[in-house]
Amino acid sequence: MATKTTENFYSLLQPLDQFIDLANQSNYVPVPDDWYIFITDIIGSTAAIEADKYKEVNFLGASSIIAVLNAVHNQEIPFIFGGDGASFIVSPSAYQLTRDALLSVRKLACEVFDMDLRVGVVPVAQIPLHSQVQVAKLRINSQYSQASFTGGGLTYATKLVKENRRYQLEITPETPPANLEGMECRWQDIPSQGGEIVSLIVSATLSGGKSRDSVYREVIQKIRLIYGDDKKYNPVTKSALKLSFGLRQLSTEIRARSSSVSFLHRGYYFLKVLIENLLGSCFMNLGLTVGRVHWGAYKEDVSAASDFQKIDDALQMVIAGTSAMTLQLNEYLEQQFKSGYLAYGLHISNRALITCLIFDQRDRHIHLIDGADGGYALAAKALKERLHRKSTNWRAYNQLLKQKKPKQ
């Protein structure tokens, strides 16, 4: 009798076509118990942000993804980008490949950027019943579907990795060098045409009596009412995409991907990138088709394949708009927070960061989006502060009730 395998669980999962369908619990399915959750995050990311190193933080978070995808080759695995790190759920056969790939990026972070990329793993089977790991995927184009997660399992696993060294992985002398083939950071920071980029994280709470689905749907609908459809608030637009030619903008990729730290090798890589960017700029401006790539439509393809909205146990979005729109959104979220329906954190910048994972420039490329100057990392910090304040106020309220309770 053949043994049932879960190896193709995610690749066989049917993708959804509309982002708002991710705010429907019935569209998610449980991840098999024999799979593994891998978590990465930069330790001390707040200090790095204060030192004006968020681009490097972002790059290392994205490097986790490209290293794993290069390691597992054509195997489709669910992952999600969080700004200062990433999360993956992988099958048993991909466990060792993923482990080695992530530790190689940790080694790179330490040796090249003097940063510590925490890497941890939690078996799905160890997630308790009150937290589940459920996944859905959204079709972005014919070659790529983006994962979203719900159930609280990823949040639980992240907490375990951060608080318990048992789940953390360490570099060894056998840790291989990082394979970042396809990792590119060549666009200039993307300015908001309306003036502001909002990095937003919304977590539904159950105290208000609404389901998580209804809370997220209402938030998405409100955002569309304020900003328009998702094409209008997508930070990545054709007119805003401009290639970089300066050393400062390109230095992060050069440091990570040149074959050594020597001036000669880094200079060679810089020259290579300049030539590729010059050719790419010419091809796009002239609308040429070269190497099966229709360069005249490439910027539209980049915009369409950008991960500016997702669900990772919370609604996460990077939104472009005006200050008046931001004010309107903030007023709505604050009112919903005070009503007990949700908690939220947001960070405002004037531009977005874009990091590209290029497997085939014709149709296999993914573009990871975050707000500049702290983005998701500072939005998450603001969310935690709101949740802490809410918890403190609730404890104080309960204590007051006990004090006022008449003695028998």
pLDDT at 362 over 80: no
CB 134, CB 28: distance < 8 Å: yes
Looking at the chain, how many residues does it have?
Answer: 408
Residue 361 pLDDT grade (very low, low, confident, very high; cuts 50, 70, 90): confident
Classify 29 as helix, strand or coil.
Answer: strand
DSSP 393: H
Alpha carbon of 171 to those of 33, 68, 116, 176: distances in Å?
27, 16, 11, 9
In 257-381, DSSP assigns E strands to 289-290, 293-294, 309-311, 315-321, 342-349, 351-360, 364-371
CB 345 within 8 A of CB 242: no
Residue 397 has a pLDDT of: 44
How many of the other CB atoms lie within 10 Å of CB of 287?
A: 11
**CA 70/CA 65 separation, integer angstroms:** 9
Q: What is the mean pLDDT of residues 388-406?
A: 55
Query: In the prediction, which pLDDT does 129 show?
Result: 80
User: pLDDT category, 373, cuts 50, 70, 90?
Assistant: very high
| Residue 400 pLDDT grade (very low, low, confident, very high; cuts 50, 70, 90) | very low
pLDDT digit string (tens) for 51-105? 999 999 999 999 999 999 999 988 899 999 999 999 999 999 999 999 999 999 9
- pLDDT, tens digit (0-9, with 9 covering 90-100), for 183-231: 998 999 999 999 999 999 999 997 767 899 999 999 999 999 999 999 9
Q: For position 187, what pLDDT does the model report? A: 96
Q: Which residues pair with 117 in a beta bridge?
A: 42
pLDDT above 90 coverage of the chain, percent = 82
The 10s digit of each residue's pLDDT in 335-359 is: 999 999 999 999 999 999 999 998 8
Of 1-10, 100-109, 241-250, 375-384, the one with minimum mean pLDDT is: 1-10
**Burial classification of residue 119, based on how many CB atoms lie within 10 Å of its CB (0-12 exposed, 13-18 middle, 19 or more buried):** buried
Q: Where are the domains of the chain?
A: 19-239+299-392
Asked whether residue 298 carries a pLDDT value surpassing 70, the answer given is yes
> What is the per-residue pLDDT for 113?
95
| Residue 404 pLDDT exceeds 80 | no
Question: What average pLDDT does the structure give for the chain?
Answer: 91
- The closest of 271, 287, 280, 281 to 361, measured between CA atoms, is 280
pLDDT at 396: 46
pLDDT of residue 401: 46
71, 97 contact by CB (below 8 A): yes
pLDDT tens-digit profile of 271-286? 999 999 999 999 999 9
Residue 347 carries which side chain, given as an amino acid letter? H
Backbone angles phi and psi of 9, in degrees to 5: -50, -50
Q: What is the pLDDT of residues 13-59, one digit of tens each?
A: 999 999 999 999 999 999 999 999 999 999 998 899 999 999 999 99
Q: What is the DSSP letter of 407?
A: P
Higher pLDDT, 201 or 396: 201
Whole-structure pTM value = 0.91
